[in-house]
Amino acid sequence: MKQFQIKPVIQCFSSFSEFSELSNFTQEDCIFTVRHLHEKWFKPLASPSSVLLFEDYGSGEPTDEMIDHILADFNKLNCKRVIAVGGGSVLDIAKFLALKPTMSSALDMFEGKAPLVKDKELILVPTTCGTGSEMTSISIAGIPSKGTKKGLVAEALFADKAALIPELLYGLPRQVMVTSSLDAMAHAMESFVAPRAHAYSELFSMESIRLLLKSYNILLSNDKADAVQNVAEDLMKASNYAGIAFGNVGVGAVHALAYPLGEKYHVFHGEACSRFLSAVFQVYRTKKPGGKTQSLSLLLAQALDCPEGQDPWEAMDKLLDQLLPSKPLREYGMTEADIEPFADSVVREQQRLLVNNYVELSRDEIRDIFKKLW
């Protein structure tokens, strides 16, 4: 049986002003965001809502320990609605704030040892264009005690509303926009070839890929500051579409291999995914050259307007390399001694993702990808 759902209500706003006017913030709300967004967008409103700022609890991507500290403070507020505005880290954490309080730790939740019951309204407002977290029932966090990241999937983590406001991307640095959107590219491509993919998920995967490649060409052909504004709406939609696709059918080895690199060496998630994208798909294409990878090759050739005879994967790599120059994993700090433990970590901790691979990858094949890219 194939199943497909778009769970949160999607609201599209022309501006933050329109969003704030219709949101009617009250003292029973908690706004969870980062400091610069609060200063720019929320502080001028002088709303009576409680505010929690991500930076007060740490930096970088979220960990289970960070989530525990935030929950401890949030549970003192007695709020009935959570409005989270930020990138994937903020949105992923906010999903826990909407749950019924429990004495369990975040680690217990990630390991399936604690019940998850949603009892607050949750509105997610993305300010980057990569995770698609506003559309998924997934939360990702680093687990320092285990040296990796883990994902939690549960119906209780769905938002009630996803608010899309392209204006919030206008101030995003060009490089952040690129690395963020590369996460969406990995979502779209992995979900397209996932074993559970079907006609409905494929529609969103394909349109996401088209919008991303179109936007990348615009960014590369225009160095002006307003180039970011010109692609903001398309990149936000691409991220959203990819979130819908992978939220239904999952992602696989690209994300699985990216997790230990990101956790140990603090590589931005989208950049980590981009390092493994072509290498993983090359193995897929070698082991099973027909089927969905062939369809994906045709899609890339059309989107990149490749002349007859040109390898669309080489054309994509060239395009992505112009946006974010590739470099070996050793330049992120990874050592040769990490290769075997990283392969073991992927096999041990990421079975949730590896079952979504286009073809099965052995532990040695995973190790060889790390070795090749190192």
Pairwise pLDDT comparison (201 vs 221), residue with the higher score: 201
pLDDT at 119 over 70: yes
pTM for this predicted structure:
0.95
DSSP E strand stretches across the chain: 9-12, 29-33, 50-53, 81-86, 121-126, 138-143, 148-153, 161-164
Q: What's the average model confidence in pLDDT over 218-246?
A: 90
Find out whether 154 and 110 touch, Cβ atoms under 8 Å. no
Quick one: three-class SS letters along 74-88?
Answer: HCCCCCCEEEEEECH
Q: For residue 242, count CB atoms less than 10 angstroms from its CB and return exposed for 0-12, middle for 13-18, buried for 19 or more.
A: buried
**Residue 98: band (very low, low, confident or very high) from pLDDT cuts 50, 70, 90:** very high
Residue 366, pLDDT score: 98
CA-nearest of 178, 212, 206 to 326 is 178
Q: How far is CA 229 from CA 34, 39, 126, in A?
A: 21, 21, 16
pLDDT at 264 over 80: yes
Residue 174, pLDDT score: 86
**Residue 351: band (very low, low, confident or very high) from pLDDT cuts 50, 70, 90:** very high
**Residue 127: band (very low, low, confident or very high) from pLDDT cuts 50, 70, 90:** very high
- pLDDT tens for 34-68 read 999 999 999 999 999 999 999 999 988 899 999 99
**Residue 224: band (very low, low, confident or very high) from pLDDT cuts 50, 70, 90:** low
Residue 225, pLDDT score: 64
Rounded CA separation 209/186 (Å): 9
Place of tokens 């890219």: 373
What average pLDDT does the structure give for the chain? 94
pLDDT at 226 over 80: no
Rounded CA separation 210/225 (Å): 23
- pLDDT tens for 185-213 read 999 999 999 999 999 999 999 999 999 99
Instruction: Name all domains of the chain by residue range, CATH numbers in brackets.
Output: 9-168 (3.40.50.1970), 173-373 (1.20.1090.10)
**Residue 172: band (very low, low, confident or very high) from pLDDT cuts 50, 70, 90:** confident
Residue 38, pLDDT score: 97
Q: What's the average model confidence in pLDDT over 312-322?
A: 95
Angle value at C-alpha 44, between 39 and 50, nearest 5 degrees: 70
Q: For residue 21, count CB atoms less than 10 angstroms from its CB and return exposed for 0-12, middle for 13-18, buried for 19 or more.
A: exposed
